[in-house]
Amino acid sequence: MKFWVTGLGLAFLYAAHAMRYDFKKCDPNKQFPKTWYTQIFATNSTLLSDYLDGMSMVAANLTITKDGNFNVSSTLPTPYGCLKMDMAFTKGKDGMYTCNSEWGKGVVLDGVTDCKSYCVVTAAHTRDGVMSVYLTLYGIAKIPTRESKQIFAKQFAKMGLEEKYLVQFPPEVACAD
């Protein structure tokens, strides 16, 4: 159970920063949505996939720093109650956003966003030499739009992920403030 909480949390947190590199087109001086919801999630992690049916929608707050890095704050459901997580992602010389934590190293591989309502993020997490990939659709609303679902579906097909490792979350937020 702890593993899926960690995996979903990391995937969500990685995703919240991504914006691909599409983020470059987003103006941080304009109003940028602070709260994002997990809407659809897929992975190649067989360990995490065992817990997909028990996962819940999560909300996270994203802040962009003046130097172009990201901070994400989220509260994740666990069997023992809600767990608060704060993570900082930094942009490296290679232009990739990364985060190191006790759970391993995470990197945002790709992100597509309209800078105001959705973000489709591909992230990878490596722990103990094993890399897992996560594809997540985030939105400022709890229900995905047709456009965002189409973008997610294209990326899902491109990655060759299996439908049995895919979940669309119901619109109830776990551990809401």
Mean pLDDT of the chain, nearest integer: 77
| Alpha-carbon separation of residue 153 from 69, 100, 150 (angstroms) | 28, 29, 5
123 vs 1, higher pLDDT: 123
Give the residue carrying structure tokens 């940028």: 32
- Contact predicate 40/64, CB 8 Å: no
- Contact predicate 24/139, CB 8 Å: no
User: What would the pLDDT profile of 54-88 be if each residue is shown by its tens digit?
Assistant: 778 888 887 777 777 777 788 878 778 888 888 78
**Torsion angle, alpha carbons of 42, 155, 139, 163, to 10:** -30
User: What would the pLDDT profile of 25-35 be if each residue is shown by its tens digit?
Assistant: 666 566 667 78
Total length of the chain:
177
Give yes or no for residue 10 having a pLDDT over 50.
no
DSSP lists the bridge partners of residue 6 as none
Give yes or no for residue 93 having a pLDDT over 70.
yes
What is the SS3 assignment for 114? coil
Average pLDDT over residues 39-65: 81
pTM of the model as a whole: 0.80
Average pLDDT over residues 142-163: 93
Q: Provide the percentage of residues in the chain whose pLDDT is more than 90.
A: 15
102 vs 149, higher pLDDT: 149
Task: Provide the pLDDT for residue 66.
Answer: 74
Average pLDDT over residues 35-49: 85
- Contact predicate 140/16, CB 8 Å: no
* Domain 2-168 architecture: Beta Barrel (2.40)
8 vs 164, higher pLDDT: 164
Side-chain-facing half-sphere of 88: CA atoms under 13 Å: 6
The domains of the chain are located at 2-168
